[in-house]
Amino acid sequence: MQSFEPIAAISTPYGRGGIAVIRLSGEGSITLAEKIFVPKSKKHLSDVESGYAVYGDILRNGKRIDDGIATVFRAPRSFTGEDTVEISCHGGILLTENVLTSALESGFRLALGGEFSKRAFLNGKMSLTEAEAVIGLIDAESDEQLRLSASITNGVLKNGVNKLCDEITELLASVYAYIDYPDEDLTDVSIEELTLRAEKLLDETNKLVSSYRSGKAVNDGIKTAIVGKPNAGKSSVLNRLLGYDRAIVTSVAGTTRDTVEETAVIGRVTLRLCDTAGIRESSDEVERLGIERSIGKLNEAELILAVFDGSSPLDELDREVIERVMKSDAEVIAIVNKSDICSNIELNVPFRVVTVSALDGSGFDELKKMISDLYVDEKLNYDTTPVLTNARQFAAATEAKARLESALQALKSGFTQDIAGMDLELSLSALREIDGRNVSEEITDRIFSRFCVGK
């Protein structure tokens, strides 16, 4: 365990509340905390057992400013792995700041965002995937994201990756034994068997890589564009989709004009609906302009919901929409709207098609299930299946997979096991990156900077 300089921060949200918690951690933090907290029993904090809480006075410059509870955690049995004291005081804004100031005046430095968690990672209390899942728990916008993040903080992804690493290590040992002593029957492992084992590993790595499709849909959300000619019902479809769950509206700055993004939780997945302001305005626009605007979003979208007015035959504008959508790499669902009037069109398109009425809501359960099933298998169980949740993990797993593929090729070619060994090592190293072993400080800094101060 490493112990770093003592740091302090308010760990509860800024504002008025029943209580607030000031967290103190680092070298000598229990002794330093004695300057700001005196138990009523007059016992010294240094004498309090690890994991125990004591009631007492909170001081600033030796004067009592509040009473509260101090919980003492001794290294390594604390969140950070260092000596830690957590002081709970009454939750007033000014009062809490005063307690923090008292800590800063007593020798603590103000903690940076995520610094407690970073120390937990550096002290081996938490892997990088677990740290990232903690951000997922804090930032969760859906119950599904909470469930997924909880399974990762429980070690499901870490254990899955460790298991793969162990298997590669074993395979490596066999490959090297074969290279070093090709004529001696040291390992009992034939090239055929090595190949079989590598194939099995590749299969498992593949599953891990593929899990990102679901993990991303749940964790980050799918960038979704709703397109279609004016009056097809885009805005009505959007409103119905948002009606499923509370909508979270955020402005995305930095584009030519601010665009509005709304979040809809559809079944197990989260949709990020891009430029919804544009959709809502578009029915007033000249037809051509409306189409251009709605189609401009296509390049960024990962899922396109193409809306057609089912009460009138397909026209030139619809065909233009289809043509443009076909050119995109995104997943596409064609929505034939206005089924309450009649269904007057034959859509001959290579996409999934669903018929709905944004007016009375019919067909929306089917649409919702279609979207959910597109990304997350109904049977996916987060408690047993490791799932990747961000681009960093995905890139590392993809690299591991590519290296395994080339190791397998080397094994199959029959005479270059040393190359296979090299590739297996690179694959192992890429897998280890998922959990933060061999990742650069720059990357860990970037990850922990996403945490709030006090976490």
The reply to whether 70 sits near ligand GDP by the rule CB under 6 A is no
Mark 243-262 with x for binding to ligand GDP (rule: CB under 6 A) and - for no binding: --------------------
Say if residues 331 and 315 touch (Cβ distance below 8 Å).
Answer: no
Q: Between 279 and 447, whose beta carbon lies closer to ligand GDP?
A: 279
For residue 87, how many other CB atoms are within 10 A of its CB?
27
Mark 303-342 with x for binding to ligand GDP (rule: CB under 6 A) and - for no binding: ----------------------------------xx-xx-
Return the structure tokens found at 385: 């299946």
Return the structure tokens found at 294: 């709605």
Closest CA to 421 of 433, 439, 403: 403
The reply to whether 282 sits near ligand GDP by the rule CB under 6 A is yes
Mark 371-410 with x for binding to ligand GDP (rule: CB under 6 A) and - for no binding: ----------------------------------------
Max Cα-Cα span within the chain: 85
DSSP per position, 153-187: HTTHHHHHHHHHHHHHHHHHHHHHHHHH-TTS-SS
State how far the Cα of 259 lies from the Cα of 274, in Å rounded to an integer. Answer: 7
Q: CA–CA distance from 331 to each of 53, 115, 326, 337 (Å)?
A: 54, 39, 10, 19
Peptide bond into 6 cis (omega under 30): no
Q: How far is the CB of 293 from ligand GDP (least distance, A)?
A: 11
The reply to whether 355 sits near ligand GDP by the rule CB under 6 A is no
Closest CA to 357 of 343, 337, 334, 333: 337
Question: Pick from 133, 189, 217, 232: which binds ligand GDP (CB under 6 A)?
Answer: 232
The reply to whether 297 sits near ligand GDP by the rule CB under 6 A is no
- Which of these segments, 38-46, 56-64, 224-232, 426-434, binds ligand GDP (CB under 6 A)? 224-232
The reply to whether 283 sits near ligand GDP by the rule CB under 6 A is yes
State how far the Cα of 348 lies from the Cα of 97, in Å rounded to an integer. Answer: 65
Element (H, E) at 122: helix 115-122
- Which of these segments, 65-73, 115-123, 259-267, 352-360, binds ligand GDP (CB under 6 A)? 352-360
Long-range contacts of the stretch 63-66 (C-beta < 8 A, 24+): 65/95, 65/98, 65/99, 65/102, 66/90, 66/95, 66/99
Question: Pick from 68, 81, 221, 230: which binds ligand GDP (CB under 6 A)?
Answer: 230
Mark 182-221 with x for binding to ligand GDP (rule: CB under 6 A) and - for no binding: ----------------------------------------
Q: How far is the CB of 241 from ligand GDP (least distance, A)?
A: 12
The reply to whether 233 sits near ligand GDP by the rule CB under 6 A is yes
Q: How far is the CB of 324 from ligand GDP (least distance, A)?
A: 15
Tell how strand 303-309 and strand 331-337 pair up: parallel
Q: How far is the CB of 234 from ligand GDP (least distance, A)?
A: 3
The reply to whether 236 sits near ligand GDP by the rule CB under 6 A is yes
Q: How far is the CB of 175 from ligand GDP (least distance, A)?
A: 60
- Strand pairing partners for 70? 54, 87
Q: Between 119 and 229, whose beta carbon lies closer to ligand GDP?
A: 229
- Strand pairing partners for 105? none
The reply to whether 357 sits near ligand GDP by the rule CB under 6 A is yes
DSSP per position, 384-453: TS----SHHHHHHHHHHHHHHHHHHHHHHHSS-HHHHHHHHHHHHHHHHHHTTTT--HHHHHHHHTTSPT
For ligand GDP (CB under 6 A), the number of binding residues is 18
Q: How far is the CB of 363 from ligand GDP (least distance, A)?
A: 9
Question: Pick from 234, 268, 392, 403: which binds ligand GDP (CB under 6 A)?
Answer: 234
The reply to whether 81 sits near ligand GDP by the rule CB under 6 A is no
Q: Between 32 and 232, whose beta carbon lies closer to ligand GDP?
A: 232
The reply to whether 359 sits near ligand GDP by the rule CB under 6 A is yes
Backbone angles phi, psi at 358, to 5 degrees: -70, -20
State how far the Cα of 166 lies from the Cα of 203, in Å rounded to an integer. Answer: 15
Q: Between 228 and 454, whose beta carbon lies closer to ligand GDP?
A: 228
Question: Would you tell me which residues interact with ligand GDP (CB under 6 A)?
Answer: 228, 230-236, 279, 282-283, 337-338, 340-341, 357-359
